[in-house]
Amino acid sequence: MIETARRWLEKYLHHLATERRVSPHTTSNYRRDLDSLQAFCEQQEIDNWQNLDIHLVRQYAASCHRKGLAPRSIQRRLSATRGLFNYLIREGETTINPAAGVMAPKAARRLPETLDVDTMARLLDFPAIGNEAVRDKAILELLYSSGLRLQELTGLNLDQLDLRDRTVRVLGKGSKTRILPVGRYALEALTAWLKCRSELAARDETAVFVGRRGKRISPRVVQARVKHWAMHQGIPARVYPHLFRHSFATHVLESSGDLRAVQELLGHADISTTQIYTHIDFQHLARIYDKAHPRARRKN
């Protein structure tokens, strides 16, 4: 593509990182998806974003499908294309979003993995001996107590915690702020961590959770520590930070039945995103039914 088109692409990625404040990981995904679109445009000898129409976008989606790309990945590429053109329209570079009416093949909806209440309790029941273990216990308890995303947890600063009020203020996707309750066990674990945090943290560090070098802990370290404690506690399932969020949502929904409340706690913009947890809840009820109902039990 000509230099002007490439420059607009870079401007959009800069807009995502600075104005929208999306994570570096998300920006990297957008770049990869839009590089794919750019490669397609060059093959079609399209030298200007204004020349990309709905028919060509459909051809682009079809070419991705022919290459064996999963429906979910095609959806993501079309979403990145729509985002780029919404930005170009806002900047007056074009007037039409050619990806607006293009749909990807439907993807099978995967149910989130979860841990049951007893398994989660076993995972969290480890002795916090030493500063690193005290920190890890606070991380795991907070993930489960408040349903934080990994980026929300690692981005957490001291001024976002209010232990007296038992709340945490997090900056979620799209720079949306939400205030979440902190449970009793998480409160105790955080209080213990903050007492010894100064022994690890650098003098000017504002992050709640820090690594061995005293700086803000990285997502990769959190992933490794979660895996470590799952193995230490003999949990056979694959355990990762987002599993705590799924388990949090499922357990709150099972107990309360309040989908709107779970939506607010998770920070979902659209309740359809939250509704996937109702399928998990139904599966749980179905298993109970199969075990308990005299007409549902299978003969030995």
Query: Per-residue pLDDT for 142 more than 80?
Result: yes
Identity of the amino acid at 243: L
Tell me what pLDDT residue 33 has: 93
Tell me what pLDDT residue 251 has: 86
Taking only the tens place, the pLDDT of each residue in 30-86 is 999 999 999 998 888 887 888 899 999 999 999 998 898 888 899 999 999 999 999
Average pLDDT over residues 205-225: 94
Taking only the tens place, the pLDDT of each residue in 145-159 is 998 999 999 999 999
Which domains are assigned to the chain? 3-90 (1.10.150), 117-289 (1.10.443.10)
114-123, 124-133, 245-254, 284-293: lowest mean pLDDT where? 284-293
Tell me what pLDDT residue 14 has: 92
Query: Per-residue pLDDT for 13 more than 80?
Result: yes
User: Is 180 in contact with 170 (CB distance < 8 Å)?
Assistant: yes
Q: Which of 11-20, 167-176, 265-274 has the highest mean pLDDT?
A: 11-20
Could you tell me the pLDDT band of residue 176, with boundaries at 50, 70 and 90? Answer: confident
User: Is 228 in contact with 131 (CB distance < 8 Å)?
Assistant: no
Average pLDDT over residues 235-243: 91
Helix (H) or strand (E) holding 280: helix 276-292
Just list the catalytic residues: 149, 173, 242, 245, 268, 277
Tell me what pLDDT residue 2 has: 65
Tell me what pLDDT residue 45 has: 84
- How far is Cα 142 from Cα 166, in angstroms, rounded to an integer? 11
Tell me what pLDDT residue 83 has: 93
Average pLDDT over residues 248-268: 81
- How far is Cα 183 from Cα 266, in angstroms, rounded to an integer? 15
Of 94, 104, 92, 11, the C-alpha closest to 57 is 104
Which residues touch 134 (CB under 8 Å, ≥6 apart)? 128, 189, 192, 193, 196
Which phi and psi (to 5°) does residue 208 adopt?
-65, -45
Which phi and psi (to 5°) does residue 253 adopt?
-65, -40
- Per-residue CA distances from 211 to 53, 137, 138, 173, 201 (Å): 49, 14, 13, 24, 8
Query: Per-residue pLDDT for 272 more than 80?
Result: no
Helix (H) or strand (E) holding 170: strand 167-171
Placement of tokens 């841990």 in the chain = 115
DSSP 207: B
List the end-to-end C-alpha distance of the chain, in Å, as a whole number: 67
Average pLDDT over residues 224-234: 95
Which residues touch 118 (CB under 8 Å, ≥6 apart)? none
The mean of the pLDDT values for the chain is: 86
Maximum C-alpha span of the chain:
71
70-84, 178-192, 280-294: lowest mean pLDDT where? 280-294
Percentage of the chain modeled with pLDDT above 90: 50
- How far is Cα 95 from Cα 84, in angstroms, rounded to an integer? 12
Of 133, 144, 138, the C-alpha closest to 209 is 138
User: Is 87 in contact with 10 (CB distance < 8 Å)?
Assistant: no
Tell me what pLDDT residue 296 has: 59
Q: Which of 19-33, 121-135, 250-264 has the highest mean pLDDT?
A: 121-135
Residue 156 tokens, joined = 């957490």
Q: What is the pTM of this model?
A: 0.62
